[in-house]
């Protein structure tokens, strides 16, 4: 069974990506692979979920009738981690949340979503939170 990979973060972008990912997985009868990654180079990373939040996510996803795997990872580059997970699981599609960024923001920091979109070997679905 091929997989839908959701790049998930504990915020509205992750929630939007997950919503869409669940819909796609049901539609295609695929399993759902939720990946939450961190660079692990700061004491606190708001986009990395703690054990309690992961447990909550698992129970949220349990009753949806989709086969679910939640995975957390740590490494130098978040896009690399997502791409590696997609390759390994032979993902049919990657779902990722995207957001507006200022010109300076784009200049200073690379975009994870941009790299995933450009370098993934499967289709990538970019979603935005409602509103």
Tokens of residue 11, six digits:
């915020």
Interaction between residue 41 and other proteins (CB under 8 A): yes
Q: Does 130 bind other proteins (CB under 8 A)?
A: no
Q: Which range, of 16-24, 42-50, 54-62, 86-94, touches other proteins by CB under 8 A?
A: 42-50
> Which position among 62, 64, 74, 118 is part of the footprint of other proteins (CB under 8 A)?
74
> For residue 27, what are its two tokens?
């539609």
Closer to other proteins at the Cβ: 15 or 117?
Answer: 15
Burial of 121 (0-12, 13-18, 19+ CB in 10 A): exposed
Is residue 104 involved in binding other proteins (CB under 8 A)? no
How far is 34 from 58, CA to CA, in rounded Å?
A: 10
If binding is defined by CB under 8 A, does position 46 make contact with other proteins? yes
Under the rule (CB under 8 A), what is the footprint of other proteins? 38-46, 48, 50, 52, 74-76
């Amino acid at each position: 069974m091929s997989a839908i990979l959701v790049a998930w973060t504990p915020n509205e972008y992750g929630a939007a990506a997950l919503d869409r990912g669940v819909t796609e997985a049901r539609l295609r009868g695929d399993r759902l692979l939720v990946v939450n990654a961190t660079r692990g180079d700061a004491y606190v990373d708001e986009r990395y979920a703690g054990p309690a939040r992961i447990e909550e996510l698992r129970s949220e996803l349990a009753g949806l009738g989709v086969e679910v795997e939640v995975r957390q990872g740590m490494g130098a580059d978040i896009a690399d981690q997502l791409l590696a997970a997609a390759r390994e699981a032979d993902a049919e599609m990657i779902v990722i949340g995207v957001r507006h960024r200022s010109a300076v923001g784009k200049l200073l920091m690379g975009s994870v979503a941009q790299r995933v979109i450009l370098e993934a070997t499967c289709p990538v679905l970019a979603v935005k939170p409602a509103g």
